[in-house]
Amino acid sequence: MDNATSGTMFFLSGFSHLWELQILHAVLFLGIYLVALLDNLLIITLTTKDPHLHSPMYFFLKNLSFLDLCLISITMPKSIESSLMNLNLISFLVCVAQVFFLILLATTEVALLTVMSYDRYVAICHPLRYGTIMGHQACEQTAAYSWASGGLNAVLHTAATFSVPMCGPLEVHQFFCDVPQLLSLACFYNVRDLVVIGLSLLLDIGCFVFIDVSYFHIFSTVLKIPSQEGRSKVFSTCLPHLVVVTLFLSSVFFAYLHPLPKSPTSFNLPISVFYMVVPPTVNPLIYSLRNKDMQKALRRLQQSWCCPAH
């Protein structure tokens, strides 16, 4: 029995052992990471600097972009470095940090997406009460609650995952330290692990149901709008959002609920890409960069840079 300690090194199997495929993976991940980095930084900059975007919806978008920026930065740079250097080792402390911040950011993002769906529900279904319900203080409180739920879940998950001795070769069949893969290395199953995962999945399911109900009411209201342009504007944003949220949560459910095979398989890798790489990359395109207000803010920012006021 090899109990993991601060001096332990984990081996990340990654996508391939072939040098050529590792280089291809590094180049592909680097391109995706740079796109996600620039898009999310652009949204944070626009929503911070432009006074026209100081509204509840863009306040939540700024928080979402910050979460996506941090979430993709936890895994991608390390994975790119490992592929380029052909050294897929990660220390125990770095692995613990990855697990903690991944759970923190992912849980906070699910909570924030739930709040954002409620924000859109109030804006579309109860527009006259929108200013009262979604005031500045309410927005800050809901964002703080989202972060607090993420922090609590991260502490519980991290403590439960690393409190059990690990047996055999410490090989994680992933490109990052993922909780299901780490639990498969445990010498025995701990009731605390199952309770923490069960509660977390129940909360995720609750958030998913809340989002679906919110968008059901949104779509029902939008279908009554006589303007074709108004309907298409809402559907073009809401439907892709619903697809990404469904893809994100369903892949998380699959990763945590399906039994891991005794022999290593590459099937878990594309599943993890769906909840670790895809949302931070496509969220800016769905929520903000296709938005006319964001496009106008971008033009104003470009004009301020090109022709600064004297």
pLDDT in tens, 95-138: 999 999 999 999 999 999 999 999 989 988 888 889 889 988 99
Specify the residue for token string 């619903």. Answer: 242
* Those residues with Cβ within 8 angstroms of residue 227's Cβ, 6 or more apart along the chain or in another chain: none
Report the C-alpha gap between 150 and 306 in whole angstroms.
41
The answer to whether 244 and 64 have CB atoms below 8 angstroms apart is no
DSSP codes of every residue in 79-115: HHHHHHHT--EEEHHHHHHHHHHHHHHHHHHHHHHHH
Alpha helices in the chain (DSSP H): 19-49, 56-85, 92-125, 130-133, 136-162, 179-183, 191-222, 228-257, 268-276, 278-284, 292-306
Report the C-alpha gap between 125 and 148 in whole angstroms.
28
The answer to whether 161 and 183 have CB atoms below 8 angstroms apart is yes
pLDDT in tens, 273-298: 877 888 888 888 876 666 777 778 77
233-238, long-range: CB within 8 Å, 24+ apart, which pairs?
234/124, 236/290, 237/286, 237/287, 237/290, 237/291, 238/120
Predicted local distance difference test score (pLDDT) of residue 2: 45
Report the C-alpha gap between 197 and 191 in whole angstroms.
10
Mark the ranges of the chain whose per-residue pLDDT is less than 70: 1-7, 190, 230, 237, 258-268, 287-290, 307-310
